[in-house]
Chain A
Amino acid sequence: MLATRAVGLGPSLRQTAFKPARAQALKNIVRTNFAKRMIQTERLKPEDAVNILNSQRLKRPSSPHFTIYQPQLTWIGSIFNRVTGVALSVLLYGFSLAYLFAPSTFDSEHVIEFVKGLPDAAKYAGKFVLALPFTFHGFNGLRHLAWDSGRFLTVKGAYSTGYAVIGATALSTIYFTVV
């Protein structure tokens, strides 16, 4: 008895001693149930956390990125290098496969005859269309090799070499078109 009072259990002990136990228990039950607000709670499993997160993620849009980047010499030059490389390679692969599967149609005499028969304007246009990717890819390739050896790896360097490549491409394309 003395120990309970010292620990602080005196009042509760007095309550249970002087009130009937069953009524007390009933009162507690009624009080705790009334004390809850009338809300519905749903019981979730731990994996539902991941499922809710994933269902929300699937509905999220992604912000514009590729479509809004300001055109700059750096990445325009880079993608143009790739496009010209692909175009020239497709031409090489296409012609080689055509010669492999139909050698009599695509052998050199036929090709040269075909080109000879074209009007002059088409010949100049064809030379221009072939010279531009080739020279740009060549000069930009040299620019890439300079970067790989550690040179011009600054913004100024990238821009100055970029303009040099564009200038060299223009001059050499004109040369190859008219020669």
Chain B
Amino acid sequence: MSSSLILRSTIPKSLASRSILGVRQAGSVSYKYVPGGPIYKGTANDPTPFPPSSRTHGSYHWAFERLLAAGLVPMTAAAFVTSGSPYPIIDGLLGISLIIHSHIGFDALLVDYVHPRKFPIMGPTLTWTLRATTVAVMVGVYQFNTNDIGLTELIAKVWTA
């Protein structure tokens, strides 16, 4: 007796599905989804979507960034104490580390202000532009350190010019 009551009380699945009830997605006719804005995807009952979890973009990225930043301190001190040209390897390492540190910083700017979720075209475009620029800058710094006096000696000479 009670089991039949329970069975009768559950709504059949076909009635509970959204298509039959006629509830529309927000992406239809008049109201376009605005990321971070007043128009949401789906209804108020839909769960928030989350990005996929990955250590490469998460904890490993974080650890690498902090280790690099910490390593910049002794590297800068060493480079300026030995003052560039006689020790080109220290100069080169400092150059590469500075560029990677700057790249991570610029990437953080893009993620904070021009996220692909809200800017589906600008976000990825700027990210790839940044990557190309970083590669070009690495080539430029390599050329400067090889064909010219190097970053640390340039700064030292300009400072005392």
Residues of A within 8 A of B (CB): 45-47, 50-51, 54-55, 57-58, 60, 82, 85-86, 88-89, 92-93, 96-97, 99-100, 103, 107-108, 111-112, 115-116, 123, 127, 138, 141-142, 144-145, 148, 176
Contact = CB atoms under 8 A, between A and B. Distances in A.
B159 interface: yes
B35 to A, nearest CB: 14
B121 interface: no
Chain B CB count within 10 A is highest, among A51, A82, A96, A123, for A96
Chain B CB count within 10 A is highest, among A58, A100, A103, for A100
Nearest to B69: A141
B158 A46 contact: no
Chain B CB count within 10 A is highest, among A107, A142, A144, for A107
Contacts of B70: 145
B106 A148 contact: no
Q: Top 3 nearest A-B pairs by Cβ distance?
A: A100-B140, A96-B140, A57-B38
Interface string B40-79: 0001000000000000000000000010011011000000
A99 B143 contact: yes
Contacts of B26: 50, 54
Interface of B: 21-24, 26, 28-31, 38-39, 43, 66, 69-70, 72-73, 98-99, 102, 105-106, 109, 133, 136-137, 139-141, 143-144, 147-149, 153-154, 157-159, 161
B159 A45 contact: no
A89 B103 CA distance: 8
Tell me what chain B mostly uses at the interface: helix, strand, loop, or mixed. Answer: helix
A47 B39 contact: no
A26 B147 CA distance: 106
Contacts of B31: 50-51, 54-55, 58
20 contacts: A46-B21, A50-B26, A51-B30, A54-B30, A54-B39, A82-B105, A88-B102, A89-B105, A93-B133, A96-B99, A96-B141, A97-B136, A97-B137, A108-B153, A108-B154, A111-B154, A111-B158, A144-B69, A145-B70, A148-B66
A96 B73 CA distance: 22
Contacts of A108: 148-149, 153-154, 157
Contacts of B140: 96-97, 99-100
B103 to A, nearest CB: 8
Contacts of A57: 38-39
Nearest to B32: A54
B95 to A, nearest CB: 9
